[in-house]
Amino acid sequence: MVASLHNQKESSFGNNVRETLQVASTLWPISFAAVLGPFLKTMALYRAEKGSTLGALEFLSTSQTTMSAFINLALFGGTYFWTVAIVVIWCLSPLGGQAAVRSIGLFPNSTIIQIPAMHYLGSNISDMNPFYRGGFPEGDMGIFRNIGIREELIFNLRNNIASVFSTPDVLVSHADGSSDGFDDAVQRLGGKWQAARVGQQDRWRNVRVPFLQLLPHYNSEHPEDWVEVPTDQVVSYVSLIGIPIRGGSVFRAGNSTMMVRSHYMTVSCGPAFKGSAWLTPTAHKLLFHDVKHENSLTSQYESSFPIRTWPNIFLDTVNDTKTLEEHARFAYYPLNDTEPTTKLKLILGGPCPDDPLPRVFLRTCDVSTSYVDVEVRCTRLTAFDDQNCRAARLRHTPGFPVSGNLTALSNFAILNGITWQFPFATSDYDIAVPGLIEMYLKNPPQTLARSPLTNNYPGCFNDVPLDAFEGRFATALNTFVTATFNATVLTGADGMSLENRNIMWRNTTATWSEFTESIYALHKPWFSVWLVSTIVLFVIAIANVAIRAIIIAPDFLSGVAGLTRDSPFIDVPQDRSGESGSDRLRRWKKTEVRICDVQSTEDVGRIALTTDLNAGRLAWRRAYE
């Protein structure tokens, strides 16, 4: 009956069986002692009738509990196989009781299925080519390519950029160890666990990708090893806008895991330097800006839709012939992702204090690309809860460069667009007031605390640690590139359906696991112990009845009444020799006896059980035979 419940769904019958087993586990040692104890006495009487040693009879007669059996085994029973067997059988008493309640359990039942899913774009940079080829074929239109609706797309870009740089989690991005206000920002977010959690998705629930190189336990010598993303500490993300993912789950409580491929830019910057030598008309160091008027660099803007704000920084590209030929010759990416031989070099500049007057300082940064595999794990606690997804672990994608030269900025259209939009998108309408991006580059915990006249030279980052600046600048660049994607997709306005998706989407498969109705599971080792102990119990009970039937001798080995048989010191009739100990006790139960010195008048006494109540009392210093 118990075995039949294995792998069956929870039922009232099964629960009743489990409750019965719980009661049985309590009664089992009592039942075992009630069967095995009398059986051992029966065996003692049988052995006495057939002839046995006193030690064997004593062992059988007094091994009435598990502990007494162990004591007898230690005293005089260890040389016989059957004495060890009796101790082993007694061990089935507690084991059988515990095995009964543990033999069947109720466990949650999980189901694992494969569910189709999609994510926006893939690991190849050329996947973004439809953006810059008018959406052809069947792709999404790029912000910096389509002239007909460019104004609307630029408006979406600026809105999305300002939106993600205004979320609370930006306060702890690339701030640990490099910003004085980091600990306070973590506490304002609710502690380290909450601060780590809020950064896992952007405000539209897209999954953010951490910087693999900045994760704990990342080993640059083994870049293709998987690295876990910690959940108890703040990590730095490559972009404030995550990867749009569709599908991979059902509207029930459960978990899903899927693999997503992506890429992001990293930067390696040099120290800041005075830009005087670069900002002369004959230097030709800057690709886009007019250097005739140094003081106007931050306000220069080339676009059909000026934003009329006042940034404190400007972005440009080093005007190197070889670099521009490989990175800015065409308005689209090479179809086969051919790696350039050079790295794209960006220039970030802004006014900094100098003696006697402020001067523009520049910083050059090499741009590289990292390709990563991301394991995304999602959880839905109930059918009515939102699905929460996060990047659980990462590795460098095998077969791709660890630090590639081809970047998302390696076409003229996006390079030109980012150059002019990056400084202006979050800048302020007042002169010398820091914008969101400028404040983020300088000190992330103060990003949302902008105020005029409190941040001298907001476009100067000379005092920012280089590694912190590189991380923040890379995140800002990646965020801008991601913001050029289809705004309908980024904000989730396209819906959750997987049907009729264009070529911008990549198929993947999610492993969905959920708990269904609980099932009963048979624990075979415990069930085997319980089954063996049950069989042994029944065999002993039957054997006790069978052996009793063939014994002729009365049972005078049990009870005190057996001590009165054939004793010269007991004054009772010695008739009825076929009488058992219990029958004899019923006849003489009121007879008074006492352990006395039956030779009290002699020099050496003798101790015996006697009916002579006047016999001598026992004394400590007297000798007895």
CA-based nearest residue to 472, from 512, 438, 501: 438
Query: Are residues 358 and 492 located together in one domain of the fold?
Result: yes
Whether 144 shows a pLDDT value over 90: the answer reads: no
In a domain, 312, yes or no: yes
- Supply angle C-alpha 283, 286, 290, rounded to 5: 90
For 591-615, what is the mean pLDDT? 73
pLDDT at residue 240, rounded to an integer:
98
* CA distance linking residue 319 with residue 423, whole number of Å: 19
Query: What are the strands, taking DSSP E only, across 386-534?
Result: 388-396, 505-522
CA-based nearest residue to 376, from 261, 215, 493: 261
Query: Are residues 329 and 361 located together in one domain of the fold?
Result: yes
In a domain, 583, yes or no: no
User: What are the phi and psi torsion angles at 446 (to 5°)?
Assistant: -105, 10
| Domain total of the chain | 2
**What is the secondary structure of 508-530 as a DSSP string?**
EEEEEEEEEEEEEEE-HHHHHHH
For 592-614, what is the mean pLDDT? 74
pLDDT at residue 293, rounded to an integer:
75
> How large is the angle between the packed helices 54-62 and 12-50, nearest 10 degrees?
160
- Residue 521 — very low, low, confident or very high, per pLDDT cuts 50/70/90? confident
Whether 68 shows a pLDDT value over 90: the answer reads: no
Q: What's the whole-number average pLDDT of the chain?
A: 84
For 529-550, what is the mean pLDDT? 85
pLDDT at residue 524, rounded to an integer:
78
Query: Are residues 116 and 103 located together in one domain of the fold?
Result: no
Query: Are residues 326 and 474 located together in one domain of the fold?
Result: yes
Whether 148 shows a pLDDT value over 50: the answer reads: no
User: Cα 194 from chain centroid?
Assistant: 16
In a domain, 154, yes or no: yes
In a domain, 372, yes or no: yes
Query: Are residues 220 and 367 located together in one domain of the fold?
Result: yes
- Residue 563 — very low, low, confident or very high, per pLDDT cuts 50/70/90? low
User: What are the phi and psi torsion angles at 428 (to 5°)?
Assistant: -95, 160
DSSP H or E stretch at residue 315: strand 314-317
pLDDT at residue 77, rounded to an integer:
56
Query: Are residues 388 and 471 located together in one domain of the fold?
Result: yes
- Of residues 279 and 450, the one with the higher pLDDT is 279
Please state the pTM of the whole predicted model: 0.73
> Residue 27 is part of which domain span?
1-108+516-553
Which residue, 496, 530, 564, sits at the end of a domain?
496
pLDDT tens-digit map of 334-352: 888 999 999 999 999 999 9
In a domain, 615, yes or no: no
Say whether 79 sits in a helix, a strand or coil.
coil
For 603-608, what is the mean pLDDT? 78
pLDDT at residue 139, rounded to an integer:
82
Whether 442 shows a pLDDT value over 80: the answer reads: yes
CA-based nearest residue to 261, from 163, 119, 100, 393: 119
Give the N- to C-terminal CA distance of the chain in Å, as an integer.
63
- Supply angle C-alpha 219, 224, 226, rounded to 5: 75
In a domain, 42, yes or no: yes
- Residue 518 — very low, low, confident or very high, per pLDDT cuts 50/70/90? confident
- Residue 291 tokens read as 């250097």
Query: Are residues 45 and 160 located together in one domain of the fold?
Result: no
Which one of 16-20, 143-147, 295-299 scores highest in mean pLDDT?
295-299
Whether 423 shows a pLDDT value over 80: the answer reads: yes
Which one of 2-6, 43-47, 156-160, 608-612 scores highest in mean pLDDT?
156-160
Say if residues 102 and 22 touch (Cβ distance below 8 Å): no
In a domain, 139, yes or no: yes
* Ramachandran region, residue 177 (left: φ > 0; alpha: ψ -120 to 50; beta: rest): left
- Of residues 37 and 495, the one with the higher pLDDT is 495
Query: Are residues 53 and 123 located together in one domain of the fold?
Result: no
* CA distance linking residue 219 with residue 545, whole number of Å: 74
pLDDT at residue 360, rounded to an integer:
93
Amino acid at 459: G
Query: Are residues 382 and 352 located together in one domain of the fold?
Result: yes
- Residue 187 — very low, low, confident or very high, per pLDDT cuts 50/70/90? very high
Percent of the chain at pLDDT > 90 equals: 47
pLDDT at residue 167, rounded to an integer:
94
* CA distance linking residue 152 with residue 486, whole number of Å: 12
User: What are the phi and psi torsion angles at 113 (to 5°)?
Assistant: -135, 160
Residue 356, preceding peptide bond in cis (omega within 30° of 0): yes
Of the candidate ranges 111-120, 149-158, 291-300, the one whose mean pLDDT is the lowest: 149-158
Long-range contacts of 491-499 (CB under 8 A, 24+ apart): 491/160, 491/204, 492/204, 492/205, 492/206, 492/244, 496/246, 496/247, 497/246, 498/116, 498/117, 498/118, 498/246, 498/247
Query: What are the strands, taking DSSP E only, across 164-270?
Result: 227-228, 245-247, 254-269
Strands 388-396 and 227-228, sheet pairing: antiparallel
In a domain, 13, yes or no: yes
* CA distance linking residue 145 with residue 159, whole number of Å: 19
Whether 16 shows a pLDDT value over 70: the answer reads: no
Query: Are residues 149 and 197 located together in one domain of the fold?
Result: yes
Query: Are residues 258 and 343 located together in one domain of the fold?
Result: yes
pLDDT at residue 269, rounded to an integer:
97
* CA distance linking residue 265 with residue 475, whole number of Å: 8
Say whether 469 sits in a helix, a strand or coil.
helix
- Residue 152 — very low, low, confident or very high, per pLDDT cuts 50/70/90? confident
User: Cα 148 from chain centroid?
Assistant: 49
pLDDT at residue 28, rounded to an integer:
75
CA-based nearest residue to 475, from 149, 169, 36: 169
Whether 562 shows a pLDDT value over 80: the answer reads: no
- Residue 451 — very low, low, confident or very high, per pLDDT cuts 50/70/90? low
Say if residues 390 and 237 touch (Cβ distance below 8 Å): no
pLDDT at residue 516, rounded to an integer:
75
Say whether 360 sits in a helix, a strand or coil.
strand
Percent of the chain at pLDDT > 70 equals: 84
**C-beta atoms surrounding 27 within 10 Å:** 12
- Residue 582 — very low, low, confident or very high, per pLDDT cuts 50/70/90? low
Strands 104-120 and 359-380, sheet pairing: unpaired
Of the candidate ranges 267-276, 495-504, 581-590, the one whose mean pLDDT is the lowest: 581-590
Whether 453 shows a pLDDT value over 50: the answer reads: no
Query: Are residues 40 and 138 located together in one domain of the fold?
Result: no
* CA distance linking residue 328 with residue 406, whole number of Å: 11
